[in-house]
Chains A and B, each alone.
Chain A
């Protein structure tokens, strides 16, 4: 199947946009939120604390 250059680029754009919107952005967001307060805060937040009594 031979595609014109325009169609090929359009298809690639659609595929990339789809992947970015549905896969890359959610992962990037959670990574950003995790490391937003710095790596130290991330490291400190990993071990389970004693369950707090509400």
Chain B
């Protein structure tokens, strides 16, 4: 789910910033839709689409249960977390411009080399922040997930749903507090891990060595 969002996010951000094609505005608007649409609407529409009587309801006959199962929850989470990576990477791409990539291309780097050696290190901060936001939202998403989940503890209940069901259904107030604290703690750990990973990464040396190579060979 997160890797999927990362791949889609980076590709879409590149398309939105670098591309000049018809429908760019439309794409940008569609990417923003999950921000504008209330998550519970997403839940309802997913049930309409994937539920037994929905358009893709035939899957249930094949034994694949989407709604009230894990696939439905994944679909809902992907929908609500879709814009984060795009919107975080986009301004960074604007900022760095294309000079370095053009330089890499003139020095004989392939498209993939340019991307992995120049573009990815440059957008890493935006990417990290987008991932952190995605994970946080995926952990905390409530509205869309509660519609499509069956809410069995340990089977199809997220921690967020557990907080809700303990508080509302079980009247287990302290249990709800404990689960809420655990949820907060997990989000915090994610944030710390991501910033650790980011600090250790080899972004600076790689970018520097790529830039220095032509100077050395010329001398």
A interface, CB within 8 angstroms of B: 27, 30-31, 33-35, 37, 41-42, 45-46, 48-49, 51-52
Question: Does B177 interact with chain A (Cβ within 8 Å)?
Answer: yes
Q: Which of A30, A49, A51, A52 contacts B177, CB < 8 Å? A: A30
B interface, CB within 8 angstroms of A: 153-154, 157, 162, 170, 172, 174-175, 177-182, 184
Q: Which of B153, B154, B178, B184 contacts A45, CB < 8 Å? A: B178
With both chains docked as a complex, state the minimum distance between the C-beta of B142 and any C-beta of chain A, in angstroms: 16
Find out whether the CB atom of A34 lies under 8 angstroms from the CB atom of B153: no
With both chains docked as a complex, state the minimum distance between the C-beta of B159 and any C-beta of chain A, in angstroms: 10
Find out whether the CB atom of A45 lies under 8 angstroms from the CB atom of B174: yes
- Chain A residues, CB < 8 A from B177: 30, 33-34, 45
Find out whether the CB atom of A41 lies under 8 angstroms from the CB atom of B170: no
- Chain A residues, CB < 8 A from B178: 34, 42, 45-46
With both chains docked as a complex, state the minimum distance between the C-beta of A53 and any C-beta of chain B, in angstroms: 11
Find out whether the CB atom of A34 lies under 8 angstroms from the CB atom of B162: no
Find out whether the CB atom of A52 lies under 8 angstroms from the CB atom of B175: no
With both chains docked as a complex, state the minimum distance between the C-beta of A1 and any C-beta of chain B, in angstroms: 25
Complex Cα distance, B174 from A49, in Å, reads 13
A-B contact count (CB 8 A): 37
Complex Cα distance, B182 from A35, in Å, reads 12
- Chain A residues, CB < 8 A from B180: 30, 34
Find out whether the CB atom of B175 lies under 8 angstroms from the CB atom of A51: no
Return the chain A residue nearest B184 by Cβ.
A27
Complex Cα distance, B173 from A37, in Å, reads 12
Find out whether the CB atom of A48 lies under 8 angstroms from the CB atom of B174: no
Return the chain A residue nearest B157 by Cβ.
A48
Cβ contacts A to B, 7 pairs, < 8 Å: A27-B184, A30-B184, A31-B181, A33-B174, A34-B174, A46-B178, A48-B162
With both chains docked as a complex, state the minimum distance between the C-beta of A24 and any C-beta of chain B, in angstroms: 13
With both chains docked as a complex, state the minimum distance between the C-beta of A50 and any C-beta of chain B, in angstroms: 9
- Chain B residues, CB < 8 A from A31: 181, 184
- Chain B residues, CB < 8 A from A46: 178-179, 182
Find out whether the CB atom of B154 lies under 8 angstroms from the CB atom of A42: no
Complex Cα distance, B173 from A42, in Å, reads 12
With both chains docked as a complex, state the minimum distance between the C-beta of B81 and any C-beta of chain A, in angstroms: 22
With both chains docked as a complex, state the minimum distance between the C-beta of A51 and any C-beta of chain B, in angstroms: 7
- Chain B residues, CB < 8 A from A48: 153-154, 157, 162
Find out whether the CB atom of B153 lies under 8 angstroms from the CB atom of A51: yes
Known: A48-B153, A48-B154, A51-B153. Is A34-B181 also a contact (CB below 8 A)? yes
